[in-house]
Amino acid sequence: MGTHQKNFGAGKPGAKVGIGIVFLTIFIDLVGFSIIFPLFPDMLDYYLRLEQESGNKGGLSQLIQILPEKTQHGLNLQTVLFGGILGSLYSLLQFVFSPIWGGLSDKLGRRRVLIYTVSATAIGYFVWIFSGNIWLLLLSRAIAGIASGNITVATAAVADLTSRENRAKGMALVGVAFGLGFTIGPAIGGISSTWSSGWESFGLNPFSFPAILSCMMAIINLILIHKFFKETLPETTNSPPPEKKRKLGRYPIFSIFRIEKNQILFLCLLYLIFFIAFSGMEFTLTFLAKERLKFGATFNGYMFIVIGVTMIIVQGGLVRKLAKPIGEKNLTFLGMICGIMAFLLLAYSPEIEIQEFVSGKFFTSRFFLGIICMSCAIGLISPCITSLVSLHSPVAQQGRNLGLLRSAGSLARVVGPILASSLYFLHSATPTYVAGAIVLIIPLLLTLLLKLPSQKN
């Protein structure tokens, strides 16, 4: 229940403004999630050194002492495992809150929930600016993780603003926002990783500059939502009947276990398995690059630019043009093939030292071909599955079902990094990535069983 501003829908002038603001919201969420990727190896070394110099053994030092000491090609595998735990925190909270924010947006409206969550995002980044120890860093990631569940709300708003025929194009734009965030986030983190060096005397840390930029973007986004974003929730869905409210329950996350439509459950499971494998690859990639190519934070940032640009080209170009003639199901199958190839290429990439990023030595390497295949896989699969879930969902359940899909992806990002970093720590990189290729055979076969949604609007 509750009053909403007059909403605008597909084809109306305000829809373009709404989609633009939603695009920015998703972009900033992905910047917050990915900005830390290239920093992980150096950041964990920094906080460990800080605890040792101060003589105060914090959580990081205590965990490192518990683990057996292991190194591979100069890489401390202990930091890989701890980084997996830290990387999973953000996604765990996103998993819990995605369907909650999605369900609340079906009740209270997209605009109000976006204002709440983007405000929390800015607060999370502000805490990171002054994270002088590992505990403040964990707190900042926790706040940002809770707020990042608003990707569900933003995706539901895109569904509100696009017609059924153009739904795949709308979801492809969501994918472009993912790609841009995935590009700019690590680029900001990697390139600016040394810009705040020596700021400790001001109560900051060597990684404060990326946090300052992220905080500024979140504040700008909040202002734009407050001034220009109008409610998109169709008025017929503002007040669901009491029996529906009771069925969803107070905590909508548990409704993932009683999804009414089999195809929604099927798509969520396919998405879950795919992203368990890919989130593990995504997280351990910077450690693999350090081990095989001797990459530092800056080169890791450049690497994620290549990944993000490829994702943007695939999602903004190929998916938008091929969704109608080829279909989302076939594009998803093609993405699974690319994913298996990516794992195998990265698993068997040789150890070479790259001194210049823009060089024939890197661009002709097996590692480079692997990250291109990885980008194509994500670029094809993510928008196509999102579109299929949206097309299978009635209007009143767009937010809820898309929230469940995002929760499946978030749960995968909880499980994937821990599994991958544990395998990496115990058995090294090659068996870890081969295992990822084997896991992807399951969603590859499941894709063949997908049913197309009814054409009835």
Alpha carbons 295 and 317: distance in angstroms, whole number: 30
- What percentage of the chain has pLDDT greater than the value 90? 16
421 — pLDDT class (breaks 50, 70, 90): confident
- Cβ atoms < 10 Å from Cβ of 198: 9
pLDDT value for 346: 96
Contacts 24+ apart (CB under 8 A), 235-241: 235/4, 235/7, 236/395, 236/396, 237/106, 237/395, 237/396, 238/1, 238/2, 238/4, 238/107, 238/109, 239/1, 240/106, 240/107, 240/396
Question: Backbone phi, then psi, for 76, in 5-degree steps?
Answer: -75, 110
d(CA 212, CA 235): 38
Q: How confident is the model at residue 356 (pLDDT cuts 50, 70, 90)?
A: confident
Q: pLDDT confidence of 241, banded at 50, 70, 90? A: very low
Give the CATH superfamily of 13-55+70-447.
MFS general substrate transporter like domains (1.20.1250.20)
Mean pLDDT score, 250-254 = 47
Q: What are the residues facing 76 on neighbouring strands? A: 71
> Among 272, 264, 269, which Cα is nearest to 388's?
264
Question: Identity (one letter) of the amino acid at 60?
Answer: L
* Mean per-residue pLDDT over the chain, rounded: 79
| H or E segment and range at residue 383 | helix 366-392
C-alpha span between 240 and 238 (Å, rounded): 6
Is residue 48 scored above 50 in pLDDT?
Answer: yes
Q: Cα–Cα distance between 409 and 91 in angstroms, integer?
A: 9
Q: Which helix (H) or strand (E) holds 419?
A: helix 398-427
How far apart are alpha carbons 327 and 447 in whole angstroms?
12
Q: Compute the distance between CA of residue 439 and CA of residue 436 in angstroms, rounded to an integer.
A: 5
Residues 320/72, Cβ–Cβ less than 8 Å: no
Which stretch of 356-360, 369-373, 392-396 has the lowest confidence by average pLDDT? 392-396
pLDDT for the residue numbered 371: 95
Q: With bands split at pLDDT 50, 70 and 90, how would you rate the model's confidence at 73?
A: low
Residue 255: per-residue pLDDT: 57
The residue among 121, 140, 133 whose CA lies nearest residue 43 is 133
So what's the pLDDT on residue 98? Answer: 80
Please give the pLDDT value at position 402: 76
pLDDT at 305 over 60: yes
- Provide the pLDDT for residue 107: 86
Q: Is the pTM of this model over 0.95?
A: no
Separation CA 153–CA 148 (nearest Å): 10
pLDDT above 60 for 13: no
Position with higher pLDDT, 439 vs 296: 439
Across 148-162, 422-436, 439-453, least confident range:
148-162
89 by Cβ neighbours in 10 Å (0-12 / 13-18 / 19+) ranks as middle
